[in-house]
Amino acid sequence: MDVGILKTCGILILLLPAAGTVLVGALGRPVLRGRSHWPVILGVAGAVICSFVVLGQFGGVSGDEAHGDTQAVVSVYQWIATGAPETREAPAAWFNISFLFDPLTCVMLVTVTGVSLLVIIYSREYMRQHGHPERGYERFFAFLGLFVFSMCALVLSGNFLLLYLGWEAVGLCSYLLIGFYYGKPEAAAAAKKAFLVNRIGDFGFGLGILLIYLTFNTLDYQAVFGMVADRATASGAALTDGRITAIALLLFCGAVGKSAQIPLYVWLPDAMEGPSPVSALIHAATMVTAGVYMVARCGVIFTQSSLAMAVVASIGAVTALFAATIALTQHDMKRVLAYSTISQLGYMFLGLGVFAATSAIFHLFTHAFFKALLFLAAGSVMHAMGGVIDMRRFSGLRRIMPWTYRTFVIGGLALAGFPLLSGFWSKDEIIHAAMTRSPLLGAIGLLTAVMTAFYTFRMVFRAFHGAQRVPPGVHAHEAGKWILVPLCLLAVGAIGAGYVNVHIRGGGFLGFLEPGAAFESFLHPAVAPFASASHHASSEHGGGHMLMYLSGLLAVAGIGVAWWVYVRRPDLAGGLARMSPQAYDLSYNKYYVDEMYDAGVVKPLRGSGKLAFGIDEYVIDGLIWLVTAVPRLLAFGLKGLQSGSLQGYAVTMAAGFAIILLLVLWM
């Protein structure tokens, strides 16, 4: 491992996409116009290459803990002062721009840059109408470049402050891209909502970072994690359980916001107002997984607190189930996928919470492929339908768009957890870990898996099967190669990505496939705290592979039910809804959570704003008016005395003189 190469790559991974953005920003409108995608594609492609170079640096030492250096920290420059005197033996007088490289970084970098590149290539065609660049074409690519920069900064960061920078910057890109069609009031509102809800999470996240600094007097990962592992603090006192739990929970607030978990998930469905490539990249494959990444990264902190782990696991499980129930009834394909993303992120947190960090990251990795694929394929449908994505308005598209159909089905099978596809392997590992930890959590995982299969194929059958029907005035067509090539590449990933963590062994699943392989041993050093804190160190499927057969069966069952309801007996679908109207309404209206937030938070706050302004206008200014009224009143009273008549003055003078005289004489 060569630290010099790592440093160069780290800087290039950040600078190349950023340079693309600057170039498009400066030249896009006047010069490049329809070619504005090139600087960003090239910049991100460079970042992909650098990411693989970084991966290559770690390839040699993977799993070989004897070398001991599965981690490298490089510092680039000094950023913000801590206020500590530099001469002292303080940990650091500056917060640095520094990178931490380890297997987790590598996995994230490759995932992020790889999927980004495919999505950006896809956007080349998607962001055009009849071959002409859409309005704001260059802006779109500039923002995408900025996003890749921010996300890589988040992943590369070697300290909490740079993490926070990336964290906020991806939120900004999300804001800008959700609001890409800013002329639409819904898009503008959704963008704002996304940013603000994330800020609520970041409130906790920021407080957590400050508490870390207060406790450890540094924000560098290595130093902090080292001290946590030793249960030490900067002041020399022992680290208390309360403090570490507080830090973990505050950090988790940020993850809840960014990764759209209960109760802060409300922004993600609305975020679908953004263009489909944005939904695929930011709101499915990469940005929303930042919370999962952060918890995995801070494993040392989280695993020290059983309460925090329990919270992570239960929020994950509840979100997985809750979001799946909403996805059952939505008509907008992208919204179904959005709730499905929330649900899958719930799985990842469930995995983290039951100490199966490798499985969680593995699911993050496979999910990036199949969910990006589903969003992009849905985008392809939307492109062909002239911007319509409501499943009530089209059906039977499989003959018009055969390739989109095929890739969508592959993505759907992977999401549903159909045996042998990527989603199957990763989801099963999480359910397995949850089951060993707590049967209840495992059961929730399985229940969610059935629903996932059902709603995914409800979408497949409604959109692509049945009578061929398109919205009026739309000339439906299959997409061109710029869209189809990324779709096919992602489809290959959706099928095969799971096999990085499967090896062939007699007696495994179906007699020869055994989960837990290269991926797990590669990642292990980075998430070691989870494994060592957990009592069952590896995801060895000790109890046979019953669970794998069961979850495979459930996936097939869910698909089967969807087929029965939407293809075989289409009349059943409405009947189901009519059977339990309350439940259906509750799910269709997303449990009225948005309305509750509006009535419980937004309105009272605005009310207090009005109150504050009223206090300003009337109370404070009223008091000041009273103060100024004193001299005014005096003046008013004394005004009468200054009448201008000489006799009056003379009388007053005489009277005054008399009074003084009396006083002097008597005293």
Q: Which of 11, 53, 196, 307 binds another protein (CB under 8 A)?
A: 196
Stretch that binds another protein, among 277-285, 550-558, 602-610, 642-650 (CB under 8 A): 602-610
Q: Should residue 213 be labelled a site residue for another protein when binding is judged by CB under 8 A?
A: yes
Selection from 285, 18, 36 nearest residue 147 by Cα: 18
Q: Which of 624, 634, 658, 661 binds another protein (CB under 8 A)?
A: 624
Q: Which of 620, 626, 629, 661 binds another protein (CB under 8 A)?
A: 620
Q: Which of 88, 475, 535, 578 binds another protein (CB under 8 A)?
A: 88
Q: Which is nearer to another protein, 196 or 446 (CB)?
A: 196
Q: Which is nearer to another protein, 142 or 527 (CB)?
A: 142
Q: Which is nearer to another protein, 165 or 446 (CB)?
A: 165
Q: Which of 22, 42, 110, 200 binds another protein (CB under 8 A)?
A: 200
Q: Should residue 628 be labelled a site residue for another protein when binding is judged by CB under 8 A?
A: yes
Q: Which residues contact 316 (CB under 8 A, 6 or more apart)?
A: 261, 345, 346, 347, 348, 349, 350, 351, 352, 353
Q: Are 462 and 565 in contact (CB under 8 A)?
A: no
Q: Should residue 206 be labelled a site residue for another protein when binding is judged by CB under 8 A?
A: yes
Q: Are 487 and 377 in contact (CB under 8 A)?
A: yes
Residues in binding contact with another protein, number by CB under 8 A: 57
Q: Which residues contact 332 (CB under 8 A, 6 or more apart)?
A: 272, 389, 390, 391
Q: Which is nearer to another protein, 2 or 616 (CB)?
A: 616
The 161-180 contact track toward another protein, x by CB under 8 A, reads x--xx--xx--x--xx--x-
Q: Which is nearer to another protein, 196 or 528 (CB)?
A: 196
Q: Which residues contact 385 (CB under 8 A, 6 or more apart)?
A: 393, 394, 470, 471, 474, 476
Stretch that binds another protein, among 1-9, 184-192, 338-346, 638-646 (CB under 8 A): 184-192
Q: Should residue 540 be labelled a site residue for another protein when binding is judged by CB under 8 A?
A: no
Q: Which of 30, 83, 506, 574 binds another protein (CB under 8 A)?
A: 83
Stretch that binds another protein, among 182-190, 282-290, 505-513, 554-562 (CB under 8 A): 182-190
Q: Which of 80, 599, 635, 658 binds another protein (CB under 8 A)?
A: 80
Q: Should residue 584 be labelled a site residue for another protein when binding is judged by CB under 8 A?
A: no
Residues 261-300 that bind another protein (CB under 8 A): none
Indicate the Cα dihedral angle 274, 275, 281, 284, nearest 10°. 50
Q: Provide, rounded to whole angstroms, the least separation between the CB of residue 207 and another protein.
A: 6
Two structure tokens written together for 18: 């950023």
Q: Provide, rounded to whole angstroms, the least separation between the CB of residue 620 and another protein.
A: 5
Give CA–CA dist 426/347, Å, rounded. Answer: 10
Helices (H) and strands (E) in the chain, counts: 28, 6
Q: Which is nearer to another protein, 203 or 563 (CB)?
A: 203
Q: Which is nearer to another protein, 2 or 86 (CB)?
A: 86
Give CA–CA dist 83/248, Å, rounded. Answer: 25
Q: At CA 114, angle to CA 55 and CA 206, rounded to 5?
A: 80
Q: Which is nearer to another protein, 217 or 341 (CB)?
A: 217
Q: Which of 27, 53, 110, 207 binds another protein (CB under 8 A)?
A: 207
57 CB neighbour count, 10 Å cutoff? 18
Q: 3-class secondary structure for 298-309?
A: CHHHHHCCHHHH
Q: Provide, rounded to whole angstroms, the least separation between the CB of residue 190 and another protein.
A: 10
Q: Which residues contact 366 (CB under 8 A, 6 or more apart)?
A: 414, 422, 423, 425, 426, 494, 497, 498
Q: Is the peptide bond before 263 cis (omega within 30 degrees of 0)?
A: yes
β-strand partners of 94: 81
Stretch that binds another protein, among 212-220, 321-329, 381-389, 551-559 (CB under 8 A): 212-220
First to last CA, the chain: 101
Give CA–CA dist 48/27, Å, rounded. Answer: 24
Q: Is 153 left (phi over 0), alpha (psi -120 to 50) or beta?
A: alpha
Stretch that binds another protein, among 269-277, 423-431, 554-562, 605-613 (CB under 8 A): 605-613
CA gyration radius, the chain: 31
DSSP structure class, residue 421: S
Q: Which of 30, 68, 185, 637 binds another protein (CB under 8 A)?
A: 185
The 218-237 contact track toward another protein, x by CB under 8 A, reads ----------------xx--
The 235-254 contact track toward another protein, x by CB under 8 A, reads x-------------------
Q: Are 144 and 191 in contact (CB under 8 A)?
A: no
CB-facing half-sphere around the CA of 617: CA atoms within 13 A: 6
Beta strands 128-129 and 132-133 are antiparallel
Stretch that binds another protein, among 7-15, 197-205, 465-473, 500-508 (CB under 8 A): 197-205
Q: Which of 11, 53, 211, 533 binds another protein (CB under 8 A)?
A: 211
Q: Which of 38, 52, 203, 588 binds another protein (CB under 8 A)?
A: 203
Q: Are 352 and 295 in contact (CB under 8 A)?
A: yes
Q: Which of 504, 605, 660, 662 binds another protein (CB under 8 A)?
A: 605
Q: Which is nearer to another protein, 25 or 516 (CB)?
A: 25
Q: Which is nearer to another protein, 91 or 386 (CB)?
A: 91
| DSSP track, 568-613 | I-THHHHHHHHHSHHHHHHHHTGGGHHHHHIIIIIHHHHHHHHHHH
Q: Provide, rounded to whole angstroms, the least separation between the CB of residue 21 and another protein.
A: 13
Distances (CA, A) of 658 to 651, 653, 654, 655: 11, 9, 6, 5
Binding site for another protein (CB under 8 A): 77-85, 88, 90, 94, 161, 164-165, 168-169, 172, 175-176, 179, 182-185, 187-189, 191-192, 195-196, 199-200, 203, 206-207, 210-211, 213-214, 217, 234-235, 605-606, 608-613, 616, 620-621, 624, 628
